[in-house]
Amino acid sequence: MDDKVKINTSCILLNGDYSYLCLVDWKKAMCLMFSDKVKVLKYSDRIIQGVDKVFRAPAVMVLIKIVRSVYRGRVPFSKKNVLFRDRFTCVYCGKAGKPLTLDHIIPRSKGGKTDWENCVACCRGCNINKGAKTPREARMHLIKRPFQPTIAEFIRIRLEQSTVYGVLVELGIYSAKA
């Protein structure tokens, strides 16, 4: 395979009852496929060159057996999860694509906590302008209020940001946004 070609394909893995489980990378998807643990529902357009055979990478797979999944009560707090919740967009200026930091709405120096309701995604420029002030003191306004997402909301946000959301809509697992 050409060194310039990088396969960055995610595959949707569904449980045996067709409920969403997770996204897996193409290597894990191929291992599951070759070990006969899954049935492929839809293939992607990506081609994987084997030693003596060419394969199409799977896009959606369902496990042969149902895996009992244990759900936590809530989504764990982390910088990465806050960035996903805010859709990698600064909540002060609304610009996406810039390097983002984590901003405390009420600064830690003023007793602000590091949790879902007090932390937001923020570009460096807005974070520097705000400094150790509250948004009111800095005369900055939040475009949207921070919240702690439920597991279902968080999974939907992550899927909408991935390239596989359209495939799930096409299969009827999710409905298209209104």
Domain holding 106, by residue range, is 79-138
Judge whether 156 lies within some domain: no
Q: How many domains does the chain have?
A: 2
Q: What local confidence, expressed as pLDDT, does residue 4 receive?
A: 41
Confidence of residue 89 (pLDDT cuts 50, 70, 90): very high
Interval 92-148: pLDDT, tens: 999 997 899 999 999 999 999 999 999 999 999 999 999 999 999 999 999 999 999
Task: Report pTM.
Answer: 0.61
Is 62 found in the same domain as 15?
Answer: yes
Is 114 found in the same domain as 87?
Answer: yes
What average pLDDT does the chain have?
84
Is 102 found in the same domain as 59?
Answer: no
Q: What local confidence, expressed as pLDDT, does residue 165 receive?
A: 66
Q: Which residues contact 62 (CB under 8 A, 6 or more apart)?
A: 13, 14, 15, 16, 18, 38, 39, 41
Confidence of residue 59 (pLDDT cuts 50, 70, 90): confident
Q: What local confidence, expressed as pLDDT, does residue 2 receive?
A: 44
pLDDT above 90 covers a percentage of the chain that reads: 44
Look at 153 and 134; give whichever has higher pLDDT. 134
φ/ψ (deg, to 5) at 44: -90, 180
Judge whether 151 lies within some domain: no
Confidence of residue 69 (pLDDT cuts 50, 70, 90): low
